[in-house]
Amino acid sequence: MELSRDDEVFDEETTLKTRRLLLWLLAWALLTVPAQGQFKAPDPEGVQLGGALTQRWQAGIIVKATGGPCWDIRATAPIPGDWPEQEVTIVEEDFTPNVRVTYGTVESSVKQMMVMIPGLRYGEEARAVVTLEVRRKSQIAPADTSIYSVAERRKLPRTVLPYLALSPGIECTNTKIKSLVKQFDDDHPNDWARVEALYDWVRENVEHKDGFQGGALACLRAGRGDHEDLTSLFIALCRADGIPARTVWVKGHCYPEFYLVDAEGAGHWFPCQAGGARAFGEMPDHRPIIEKGDNFRSPNNPRERKRFLAETLALKGAKPHKQFVRGSVAQ
């Protein structure tokens, strides 16, 4: 079958786009840390690990050119990564021949797949879906919590310092939040107990209510919030008090982690449940961890910061039908 002039032009254009998109993937590779070998070491002096649950998880994107041809297609998708309480193995990659995929770790905390598709003719489909086996362990609070204390800022690792700063919806420098922290007295047996006092204050003074979502400050003013708001408020109070804290994202939910050091000065992250059944310094949840953190640079707009690094899609040409894949699957 002979190609039409339109097809010839399309092929010439997509060849040029392929080169440019390959350069984009190379740039991603230079800007991200290799995904393997991250976060695997257990934490013997910190939170203890309990029973494990193994699950299958899928992530990726399916794109079909339904409105006409499109090209320069670039997509990103977060995928579960390795943490002390979670081990992840890729078991299947379902990629059509017209896609290129690389993996990297963004800002030291989010494993991400980067998808490049040079071009799609009308009616053509591209698929990039990865299936993972996720082994998630529960976390048990340490027996002796008196050994943990708040770290001196100057001694914090570079990767921990961002968790003392502002994030979208976590207004830790706001005067109202800082004033609230100052109201907590120092009559606590240790720093663990002080963090727990912040945690209990949020749970006792803010109503856990689905449907309200406005961030830490709005949650404090309204006296109510959903699980994400309560998580944001607890994190904001911790950061205002000089305690690093961050968000952990699982399917349909999130919870906070706070950072303390042991008697030897080694740092440890401890989880807690801001919304839902009380759990402080421990986490019975087995849902796969999608990502940790709450202040990410948007892949499509470096000036924009995101609380959660969601899937993205950028392209030229006609608007296609897209389907982002993110969730557990039956084994």
The pLDDT, as a whole number, for residue 301 is 79
pLDDT tens digits, 158-189: 999 999 999 999 999 999 999 999 998 778 89
Given a cut of 70, whether residue 38 has pLDDT beyond it is: no
**Is residue 326 within 8 Å of residue 308, measured between CB atoms?**
no
Average pLDDT over residues 111-118: 95
Report the length, in residues, of the chain: 331
Nearest residue to 36 (alpha-carbon basis) of 102, 96, 97: 102
Taking phi first (over 0 means left), then psi (-120 to 50 degrees means alpha), and beta for anything else, what does residue 215 get?
Answer: left
Average pLDDT over residues 66-79: 96
Percent of residues, the chain, with pLDDT higher than 70: 86
Rg, C-alpha atoms of the chain: 22
Average pLDDT over residues 73-84: 96
The pLDDT, as a whole number, for residue 30 is 46
The pLDDT, as a whole number, for residue 289 is 97
CATH for 142-281, options being 3.40.50.880, 3.10.620.30, 3.40.50.720, 1.20.1200.10: 3.10.620.30
Residue 151 burial by Cβ neighbours in a 10 Å radius (0-12, 13-18, 19+): buried
Average pLDDT over residues 288-296: 96
Question: Rounded to an integer, what distance in angstroms lies between the CA atom of residue 285 and that of residue 105?
Answer: 24
pLDDT band, very low/low/confident/very high, at 1 (cuts 50, 70, 90):
very low
The pLDDT, as a whole number, for residue 230 is 97
The pLDDT, as a whole number, for residue 36 is 38
Q: Helix/strand/coil (H, E, C) string of the chain?
A: CCCCHHHHHHHHHHHHHHHHHHHHHHHHHHHCECCCCCCCCCCCCCCEEEEEEEEEEEEEEEEECCCCCEEEEEEEEECCCCECCEEEEEEEEEECCCCEEEEEEECCCEEEEEEEEEEECCCCEEEEEEEEEEEEEEEECCCCHHHCECCCHHHCCCCCHHHHCCECCECCCCHHHHHHHHCCCCCCCCHHHHHHHHHHHHHHHCEECCCCCCCHHHHHHHCEECHHHHHHHHHHHHHHCCCCEEEEEECCEEEEEEEEECCCCCEEEEEECCCCCCCECCECCCCCEEEECCCEECCCCCCCEECCCCCEEEEEECCCEEEEEEEEECC
Of the candidate ranges 15-19, 104-108, 286-290, 303-307, the one whose mean pLDDT is the lowest: 15-19
pLDDT tens digits, 206-229: 998 887 778 999 999 999 999 999
Average pLDDT over residues 13-41: 52
- For the chain, residues classed under CATH 3.10.620.30 are 142-281
